[in-house]
Amino acid sequence: MTEKNNSILVDVESRYLAQESQPEKSRYLFAYTITIKNEGDNPARLLSRYWKITGGDGHEQEVEGDGVIGLHPHLAPEQSFTYTSAAMLATPVGMMQGRYLMLADDGQRFDVTIPPFTLAVPQTLH
């Protein structure tokens, strides 16, 4: 899934981590890799993140925090930053969505929306 807003392109890929999951205990671990690219003319720094993680049972959890994986990447025009993180669900299918708060070098703060993307054990969805 790729989304562009405020000249920031966000690409997301998710995968199921079978070796680290315990389906018999309703523990399904998913990794997601995100690439953030500045396609605008103004450099910007990622300040914070917000995630809403929804399981297949409708249970929601919200995660907010400073930066991503402990970093506040500063993206010059045409520069990108890629990181991988993980989410645990109690169901084999779920979704995530969120936003990044960015600060442009000119002082403007803006949100970059990350539309919903699916977390699913392979061959669970048709």
In which residue ranges of the chain is pLDDT below 50?
none
Q: Is residue 125 part of a domain?
A: no
The pLDDT of residue 3:
52
Structural domain of residue 89, as residue ranges? 2-120
32 - beta bridge partners?
14, 85
Residue 126 in domain: no
Let me know if residue 59 belongs to a domain. yes
| 86 domain residue, yes or no | yes
**pTM attached to this predicted model:** 0.90
SS3 for the chain, per residue? CEEEECCEEEEEEEEECHHHCEHHHCEEEEEEEEEEEECCCCCEEEEEEEEEEEECCCCEEEEEEECECCECCEECCCCEEEEEEEEEECCCEEEEEEEEEEEECCCCEEEEEEEEEEEECCCCCC
pLDDT value at position 126? 55
For position 123, what pLDDT does the model report?
A: 81
Report the CATH number at residue 49. 2.60.40.1470
pLDDT attached to residue 124: 73
Beta carbons within 8 Å of 120's beta carbon, 6+ residues apart: 16, 92, 93, 94
Number of independent structural domains in the chain = 1
Confidence (pLDDT) at 2: 54
- Is 65 within the bounds of a domain? yes
